[in-house]
Each structure stands twice: as structure tokens, then as C-alpha cells.
Structure 1
Amino acid sequence: MTHFRSPSALGSLGGAMALMGQSVTIATTALTFLWPAYPVAAQTEATFEEGPKAVLDEAWQLVNREYVDPTFNQVDWDAARQRLLGGEYSSRDAAYAALRQELNRLNDPYTRFLDPQEYSDLTDQTSGEASGVGLQLRRDSESQTVLVMEILPGSPAEQAGLQVGDRIVLVDSQATDRLTAAGVARLLRGAENSQVTLTFSRNGGQNRTVILTRVRLELPTVHYALRQVGDYRIGYIRLDEFNAHAAEQMTTAINTLTDLGIDGFVLDLRGNPGGLLSASIEISRMWLQRGPIVLTQGRSGASEQISANRTALTQAPLAVLVNARSASSSEIVTGALKDNDRAVVVGTTTYGKALVQSLYGLADGSGLTVTVAHYYTPNGTDISTRGITPDIEVAMSGRDQQVLFGDPRLLGTEADPQFWQAVTALETTIIAQRQGGQSPRQLGRSSPEDSAE
């Protein structure tokens, strides 16, 4: 999890979902948890000088002032500054390498340097917006081709006539047959108002070529549907990441499904690498009427507890799906709902990341994530490296996971054993609610009594 304290007041999250053609692959190698931003550049801006050493000193100062452990994990951080400023660098890349080496001494994979491109990608991702053409892609394992899985309404791709199922053949004359969906998505991204030439085919027909102008678009991070499972109407909601638009999209999903009349919800956080702390708190409050959400502890040792504020959107029975790639903000939400007995958790043990980062922009356009706090679940549990153990363990083989997550259309269907078990786990509660005479719509809305102070 990360939070923003950059001069540009932007936030971002680790874990790569390609943007605008966004791929469905999510990595968990750079998880971040974003904290609310505040400007810090004013303290150092006056001392900036041209050259790599100015950026090195700026980065060192940020770690020196903000790092969660004042002993720097038993590293002599003053000596690190002497090494950084005493070195001779033939290029910025050489200076960047030296900074990475010093940060590695902290033995903290989440306190890390980002070059300008990495910093830009990260801030774009957490903003929930990107410049592209509006395609969501997947790689078909059988045909070994990259296909269009979803098209954003009103996007350049939709206006050009692309359709779900189209095969992406070339992007700016570069063949896609050896690229991943994420790789093709990267080619489709670019500066706003720039153009990209896209060649595609449909149903095995002749190739067609279109020229698309990239625009700034909001990324869909919440996907939802009404599933009829036997006699039960289940609101299935999948959250890909906790970006700046996640809360508003989650509100739409909960309210829309509630109005359709549901018996219960399944919230799918599998593969969700985290994101903005503020988004995890807002979304927790949508499900949780009262009770603590998370406890954070910073460098000084002072703790802050964040709680629900009686603004829940629904009281309907809830199950949460998690796996080993559910991390950071996903674990905040899962821990809050589990410890408060608001939801049954189904799947496999989560990633186990209980550290909070801030993201800072540096003077040359690069960036730095710094671990600034530790967090605990409402019961005071430290999940670091251990993760959250689900109430109901439903393991899947590597092959089964590859098939299921390789085609997101299968998620939340009868082909998804973890979803199926989640619905089964809700059955007793749904029956009890029905016997109590509450309609699906009544279950979906928090009552005025619950909302009253």
C-alpha cells in the first residue's frame, strides 16, 4: 500500500495492469499502498542543483526524514549519504544505480527508486486514468493470439468499429504473435492526442487497419454482474485494484445490483495487488456499518485507528474471495470485514503485506516509494509475510488457476470453484434473512436505524 507525499500530489500502486488496452495480467512484485499526499518538496527545493547528485541527496533526505524505522534496519544511513555524494557518475543512470544499491541495504523491497518512466506509469495506474485507445486485451492460450476482451464505451477503439473477439495483429507495424497481452497494451499506450496504427482481423477474415488517436480515459477497475445460482440472486463484484476511481465505481456496482434485487454479494479481490489507502477505507465503509477498519503505526510509534462511520450501502450477506496475490489494500478490506464478522472469506491465504508506503516525485521526474508505517487488522493482527487465512480454504491447482484467470469471462461462474463455494457459504445466512421476512431489496440497503447516530 502506498500513499502520496509527492510534490505533484499524485499517487500510485505497484502491480502492473497495462493501461488502455489493459491486460488482465496483474503482477504482485511491486506492491504499494498509497497514503494521502502532502507536499514535502518545499524543504529541499531551494538546495536543488543541476546534476545527478542533487537527486541523490533529495532521495536520501526523504528516506532520512520519513522511513518508518529510525534505525534504518540497522543500516548506517549517514554513511550511505557520504557514499552517494562522494561518487562520480558518468550519467544519470549510473547515479540511479548507486541509489538503488544504497536502498537495497535497507532490506526493504518496498522502499525503492523509480526512474521517470516507472514513476509515470505508477502514478498513471493509481490515478485510474491513462492515455490510450480503450481496449482491454487477453491472450488466448489455444490460438496463441491477443484478442479484444472489452471495449470502453465512447473510446477511439469503439468509434473505429473494433469488436470483442477481434484479433490484434499489428501495432505500428510490430507483430503481436510473440507478445503478451500486457506487451501489446504497452504499445497501444502513448501521449494524449498521439496516433497509433492498429491492424486487426475478425473471425479469421482479412486484416483491417485503422489509425486511432489516443485520448485520456478512465480505467474500469470494478466489474459486476448479477448471477443466478440455483434459487439465489448473487451480486458478483470484481475489483482489480484500488485506484482513484475505485470507490465511485464500487458505489455504482453495489447500488445497481441492489436495485436488481440480490440475496447476497460476492466481492472478488483475487489477484488484486492493492492501491490507495483512501480507496480501501472508503470501500470498507460501503460494506461495514460500524467497527474498526485498520490500525496504522508510524515512525514515532504513535498509532491511528480508522473506523467505519455508519455509511454502509448494504447489509446483504457477503463473501470475499482472496488468493496469494491479494495484497496490501485488498488485505485491509479483507481484514476489516473478517475481523468484524461482516463477511465470510473464501479462497487461499493472502500475500501478507502490512507495510505502508508514500510515493514522492523527485526533481528530475523520477520517484521514490518509502515505507512510512506498519498496519494491523482490527483484531491487532500483524499479517506481514503470513497473510490472512480464509475462513474456508478452497485450493486450486496451478493448471486450474491458469485456465480460470486466463479467461476472466469464467470468473464468478460455475467454472469458478472458489466462487461456487462462496455462494454455498452464504446459503445459511440468505435462508435466515428470507425467513425473517426481508426482501432482497431490503437486504441490500442499510436501514435508517443503523445509519442514525
Structure 2
Amino acid sequence: MIKQRRIWSWLVIGLMAIALQFFWIGGANAAVTDYLQEQKFLTNVWQIVNRSYVDSDFNHQNWYKVRRQFINRKFNSREDTYAAIREMLATLDDPFTRLLEPDKFKSMQTSTSGELTGVGLQIVVDEPDNKVTVIAPIEGSPADVAGVRSRDRIVGIDNIPTKGLSLDECANRMRGAIGSEVKLSLERPLADSKGFEQLDVVIKRDRIAVTPIIAKLNQEENHKVGYIRLNQFNGNASADMEKTLKKFQSQGADRYVLDLRGNPGGLFDAGLQIARMWIPEGTVVYTVDRHGVQESFEAKGDAITKAPLVVLTDGGTASASEILAGALQENDRAQLVGTTTFGKGLIQSLYELEDGSGLAVTIAKYETPKHHNIHKRGIIPDVEVELTQPITRKQLGTKEDPQYVAALSVLDGTYKSMVAKS
């Protein structure tokens, strides 16, 4: 009986050992599988950048060597992999090429479709000071209502310095629940351009409905002037512009003022489509890829109106807005009035990754129809008119708006202070 019990005991111990062995093998296999998945994820990001990034020299480095430096790391989680990818992308020294975690990628997609939540700011790291700089607040957004302006520098978010933070880290700190508050510490350029004013702004986060176009038909002397303020090139912009132009045409508009002030850009295709509504024929923009290959995008006779046009620009006119402004100026379709544009001449493409995250990659730079590269330079208007003091949204496109008044004078041919085109 004792011997039989011993046999059963040894049998149980043996079975437990076998089970434990399978447990460890299974756990090891799962760990290996997870590790390989993370390697595959990082490699996929590396490959997208490898085949599409605008700089074939990858910021003067061997991109294959960069991959080897990161692929051999141990990734215990997707967060570890995200951190490695951010570090890898940082070697490109390009703030526009970046990883977007699933919630941020979804937010960006929602933004371009016409609605988002937060404070409503478009930001960039402005060189050479590497300061987080406001391109423009979205019209009607909490940031706009709070008085944040184009070219303001954000030096702190809730008392956390922005120095050393990435754009996405800054954006993430400004996000939050609807109704919650965030404090931005700003440096605002003084009018004499000789220094900065320090101020704090408290903003209550909210849902932001992005209305791409605000328009009105103004009776100015003997002319009906279609005033169109284009706020952003989102998914609704081109359809709304077409409806607005056709409506104004039917109402007898014989002149137009297109307001691109504070428009931070958006969808490249929307910029092209809107340019073609104004330009009868000619080159809208050139794109130049990593191999120096140029592709031209043309207008081919589908313009909705040929009525005289003036475009208003400022330091918040960026990206797709600059494509449109440059196309209208250099095709002699319109004169530009206001101040020099922001100077963002790079084009990004968005790639959705397998886990719902996204990758924004700079794939090309663009040139105006006369082959001007405006990146970090901007577009100089034909008529330079500074705003000596801020004006409210209600004053835009009225006789209380000095740049709009100047635009009317240009349309009448009575404005004499012209500057050479860039």
C-alpha cells in the first residue's frame, strides 16, 4: 500500500513537472511572440519613412544603421515601442514627421473632417529659437475667445515649461475634458519687434466645430463685394467654397476679397480644388520629392469666377493657405494685401498603423508657380499693410478693418503704396 502511494506521488510530481515545463515554454513562446510583434511594428514605421521621407539623406545619417540601433532593443510593451519610434524619428530633426498614438491620430482625423475638442490651436516649433509658436487659433475656438494670437510663443502649460517638449507632448497637455481649464504662459511679440510681452491666459476646453467659410456680400459704393473668410482647409472647405461662389455669382457679386488671415492650412487637395475655382488655367503648385522629381498641379479651365480678387494674408497664413495665395499671386489672378505669410512649405502624408495609431511623414516640399521655395521665408504681399492694433472678429471684413479697406482700394485701383512681388 505504501509502495503504491509512493508510485502515485511520483506520478503526480512528474505530471506537475511536465505541466510546469509546458507553462514555462508557453510563457516563453508568448514573450517571444510579443517581442517579434513589437519588432515588426517598429520595422513597419522605419520602412514607411525609408520609402517616403522627403530627405533621401535622412538628416545626414545612415537610416539602415539607425534601424539596427533600435531594432535590437527589448520592448516589454507597445509603450516601449512608441518611445523607441519617437526617439528614432527625432534623429530626422523634423517636427512634422511624428508618431500619433491612437487617440491623437483619431483627433487629427476628426479635425480635418470638421470637428474636434480642446483649445483650438495650431502650433509649430519655430526655428531658430526652437520655441513652441502659435500658427493661428481656430476661429471661434476657446483659444481664439481667450485672445491667443498668431505668433504668440507658448513657454509654459499649467506652469510646466515647454522647452524640451515635443509638439505632441505640448498638444497632449493642452487636451482635456470639456469644461476643464488650462493655463498657457505666453510670450507675445511687441509691435516694435524688439522684445516680448509676458502674459498668462486661462482657457476653458470645449468642443470645436470648425466652420471652414464665413462669408457675406458687402455693398461697397457701386460694387457688390463678396467677402469670404476661409478659416481652414478641412474636408468641407472646397464644397463650401463652391457653394459660396455660386451663390454670390447669382447675387451679382462683381468683386471679391478672400481672407486667408489666420488660416493655418489643412488638406493639400482642398487647397488645390479651391485654387482651381479661381484660376482659369495655369500651374497651381509644384511638389518636389526626395529624388528632386517635380510634379505640377494645374488649373484647366474650371474657374467659377473671373471677377477681380484681392487676398488678405498675415503671419498666420500657412501651408495650404500659402499654396493658394502663391498660386493666385503668381498667376496674376489676385493681389495680396496684408503682411508676410508664415512660411511652411512642406507636405505631410498620414499613414494609419495596425493598432490605430498614425504616422505623419514629410513626403515633399512645394514650390510656387514661379518656383519659389517659401519654407521659413513666407510670401511677401503686393501691398504691405500692418495692423497697428488688434481688431475683433466682428470687425473683420468691415470698414473698421484696415487691411480690408486697403483691399477695396486695390480693387478700385486707388492704392498707390505697392511693393515688388517676391
Same fold (TM over 0.5): yes
Change (3 A) 1:114 1:173: closer
**Do structure 1's residue 118 and structure 2's residue 104 form an aligned pair?**
yes
Pair 1:420–1:105, CA change in 2 (3 A): same
State the Cα distance separating 1:90 from its structure 2 match.
Answer: 4.5
What is the DSSP-based 3-state SS (H/G/I as helix, E as strand, rest coil) of the residue aligned with 1:358?
strand
Query: Does the alignment pair 1:322 with 2:307?
Result: no
Choose the corresponding residue for 1:87, options 70, 73, 77: 73
Q: Give the TM-score normalised by the residue count of structure 1.
A: 0.64
Query: Which residue of structure 2 lines up, in the alignment, with residue 424 of structure 1?
Result: 409
* Equivalence for 1:223: 214
State whether residues 117 and 205 of structure 2, in contact with CA within 8 Å, keep that contact through their aligned partners in structure 1: no
Deviation at 1:96, TM superposition (A): 2.1
CA contact (8 A) 2:35 2:76 kept: no
Pairing partner for 2:262 from 263, 271, 274: 271
Identity, % of aligned pairs?
41
> Structure 1 residue 52: deviation in Å?
3.9
2:103 corresponds to which letter in structure 1? Q
Q: Name 1:297's counterpart in structure 2.
A: 288
Q: For 2:251 and 2:145, how far apart are their aligned partners in 1?
A: 33
C-alpha contact 1:413 1:419 (8 A) present in aligned 2: yes
Shift of 1:93: 3.2
Task: Give the match for residue 372 of structure 1.
Answer: 363
Structure 1 Cα separation of the partners of residues 363 and 309 of structure 2: 32
Output the aligned Cα RMSD: 3.0
Determine whether 1:410 maps to 2:388: no
Which deviations, in whole Å up to 9, do the C-alpha atoms of 1:105-151 show, x marking residues without a partner? 1122211111112111111111235699xx95556569xxxxxxxxx
Q: CA deviation at 1:232?
A: 3.2
Give the one of 159, 165, 184 matched to 2:205: 184
Per-residue deviation, 1:231? 3.8
What is the aligned partner in structure 1 of residue 252 from structure 2? 261
Runs of 5+ in structure 1 lacking a partner?
1-46, 143-170, 190-217, 431-453
More contact order relative to length (CA 8 Å, sep ≥ 6)? 1
1:107-186 to 2 correspondence within 5 Å? Answer: 107-129=93-115, 174=179, 183-185=204-206
Closer/same/farther in 2, CA of residues 172 and 298 from structure 1, 3 Å limit: closer
List runs of 5+ in structure 2 lacking aligned partners.
1-32, 119-138, 148-175, 185-200, 416-422
- Cα contact 2:183–2:203 (8 A) shared by 1: no
The whole-number CA distance in structure 1 between the counterparts of 2:233 and 2:93 is 26
Give the counterpart of 1:307 among 280, 285, 298. Answer: 298
SS in 2 for 1:374: strand
- Aligned counterpart for 1:78 among listed residues 64, 67, 74: 64
TM-score in terms of structure 2 length: 0.69
Please give the alpha-carbon distance, in whole angstroms, between the structure 2 residues aligned to 1:105 and 1:48: 26
Provide the residue aligned with 2:89 in structure 1. Answer: 103
The count of aligned residue pairs is: 318
- Given that 1:317 and 1:429 are in contact with CA atoms closer than 8 Å, whether structure 2 keeps it comes out as no
Q: 1:298 to 1:48 in 2, by over 3 A?
A: farther
Counterpart check, 1:284 vs 2:270: no
Structure-2 separation of matches of 1:141 and 1:247: 29
Deviation by residue 1:151-194 (Cα, 9 ceiling, x = unmatched): xxxxxxxxxxxxxxxxxxxx999566979897432xx47xxxxx
- Cα 1:130–1:380 shift into 2, 3 Å: same
Instruction: Please say if residues 48 and 54 of structure 1, whose CA atoms lie closer than 8 Å, have aligned partners that are also in contact.
Output: no
What pairs up with 1:238-257 in 2 under 5 angstroms? 238-257=229-248
